[in-house]
Amino acid sequence: MSKTHWRPAHTCDLPAISALAARIHPALPERAEVLAEKMRLYPAGCRVLGADEGIVGYGLTHPWMQYRIPPLDSFLHELPDRADCLYLHDLAVLSGFRGGVARDYVAEIERLARASHIATLALVSVYATRPLWERVGFRAVTADAELRTKLESYGEGTTYMLRDLAAT
């Protein structure tokens, strides 16, 4: 396995990002145009994980509102004027390249959030990855009925999670 590194995502990376998304998240498909919109709206939060083998992972994050998860495979159209969190839409890495890269990506978006005066990170944990997110400082949040309904579109084993940056 080669050494990996996070770098900013570029438009030319979209085919690799889409291919990884389809491979890693076959039960949660998203159109390339939806992924491209996130990259266009908030390029600072979009990264790819490079290795000698090429792009082996990606992370897409954007400003958003807590407890208001965007519907899967839907356009955002615009970012909220008064975002109160950075929403980690997706972090996907091929299994052979995972050791510690989630922690590195979260550290990068934490710096971005702090520089933007945003004090919270948010995400939806899918595929029962809650323990991974807890290891990097996220905590599960009890979902109300509206949030539970939205979480259902992400499949079984989903949890809405927050990380309060003021506490770290």
pLDDT computed for residue 157 by the predictor: 80
Q: Across the beta sheet with 5-8, what order do the strands follow?
A: 5-8, 46-51, 54-64, 85-93, 120-125, 159-164, 139-140
Cα 162 to Cα 32, 37, 130, distances in angstroms:
27, 24, 11
Per-residue pLDDT of 119-164, as tens digits, reads 999 999 998 889 999 999 999 999 888 898 888 888 888 999 999 9
Per-residue pLDDT of 45-71, as tens digits, reads 999 999 988 999 999 999 999 999 998
- Report CA Rg, the chain: 15
pLDDT computed for residue 91 by the predictor: 95
Question: What pTM value is reported for the model?
Answer: 0.94
Show Cβ contacts of residue 26 under 8 Å, excluding neighbours closer than 6 positions: none
Task: Indicate the helix (H) or strand (E) that contains 101.
Answer: helix 101-115
Pairing of strands 159-164, 5-8: unpaired
Q: Please check the confidence at residue 73 and state whether its pLDDT lies above 80.
A: yes
Q: Please check the confidence at residue 168 and state whether its pLDDT lies above 70.
A: no
pLDDT computed for residue 128 by the predictor: 82
Q: Please check the confidence at residue 107 and state whether its pLDDT lies above 90.
A: yes
Amino acid found at 64: W
Phi and psi of 63, rounded to 5°?
-65, 145
Closest-CA residue to 51 (of 117, 101, 126, 111): 101
